[in-house]
C-alpha cells in the first residue's frame, strides 16, 4: 500500500492526497493561507474551534471545514486537525 502523500498543484489551490483520497487543500491568499480539511461535517474534533463549517458554501478543494492561517501560533494543533483527514 502506498503511504506517500501526493501534492497536486491546481490553478487556484494545492491539493494533498493519499491513496487517491483528498486530505486537504491550501489556498494562498494575500493575508495568509486558507486550509480546507476533507472531513465530513460533524466528524472533526476541533476543541479550539478554529475551523468553520463550509458544508453549504461553494469552495475550492474538498471537505466541510476550513480555517485561515495567518501565523504559526497553532501550527501543531492545525496539523492534528489535518491528521484526522488521513485516517
CA dihedral 30, 80, 64, 44 (to 10 degrees): -150
Give pLDDT, residue 87. 76
Cβ contacts of 54 within 8 Å, gap of 6 or more: 36, 63, 64, 65, 66
**Range 52-77 average pLDDT:** 90
**pTM for the whole thing?**
0.87
Each residue's pLDDT tens digit, 12-48 = 999 999 988 999 999 999 999 999 999 999 999 999 9
pLDDT(3) > 80: no
Closest alpha carbon to 54 in 86, 45, 62, 46: 62
- In percent, the amount of the chain with pLDDT more than 70 equals 97
Three-state SS letters, 13-49: CEEEEECCEEEEEEEEECCEEEEEECCCCCCCCCCCC
Amino acid at each position: 500500500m502506498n503511504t506517500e502523500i501526493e501534492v497536486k498543484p491546481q490553478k487556484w489551490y494545492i491539493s494533498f492526497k493519499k491513496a487517491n483520497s483528498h486530505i486537504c487543500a491550501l489556498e494562498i491568499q494575500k493575508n495568509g493561507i486558507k486550509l480546507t480539511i476533507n472531513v465530513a461535517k460533524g466528524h472533526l474534533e476541533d476543541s479550539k474551534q478554529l475551523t468553520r463549517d463550509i458544508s453549504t458554501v461553494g469552495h475550492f478543494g474538498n471537505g466541510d471545514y476550513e480555517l485561515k492561517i495567518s501565523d504559526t501560533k497553532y501550527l501543531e494543533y492545525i496539523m492534528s486537525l489535518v491528521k484526522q483527514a488521513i485516517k
